[in-house]
Amino acid sequence: MDLGKELVDMLSADRLKDPKDWKQPEDKTAGFRQSDWNRILNVLRDGGTMNMYGARGWLVENYGVSREAADQIFLDWTKTFEP
């Protein structure tokens, strides 16, 4: 499975039409809702390629978000698994 292609397909089917739109020059989280981040993290988790505790660093590296933003995105994503 090509995780990058799957993410592009998943998001382009929604509202982000081009991967260039994924990164914003000022606020790196602009244009994304938490539900978008949740879907990205779910695809990453389902791909089984990494321990999800590394997802925060992966968000920083691949999306250019700040460490603080990545921490909050990850924390909010983990809350989707609470009963």
Closest CA to 7 of 36, 49, 31: 36
Closest CA to 40 of 68, 18, 9, 64: 9
Residues 6+ apart with CB under 8 A from 64: 23, 28
pTM beyond 0.75: no
Question: Which segment of 1-5, 28-32, 51-55, 77-81 scores lowest on mean pLDDT?
Answer: 1-5
CB 12 within 8 A of CB 36: no
Over 80: is that where the pLDDT of 5 sits?
no
Number of structural domains (the chain) is 1
Residue range(s) defining the domain that contains residue 31: 3-81
Over 90: is that where the pLDDT of 42 sits?
yes
pLDDT of 49: 87
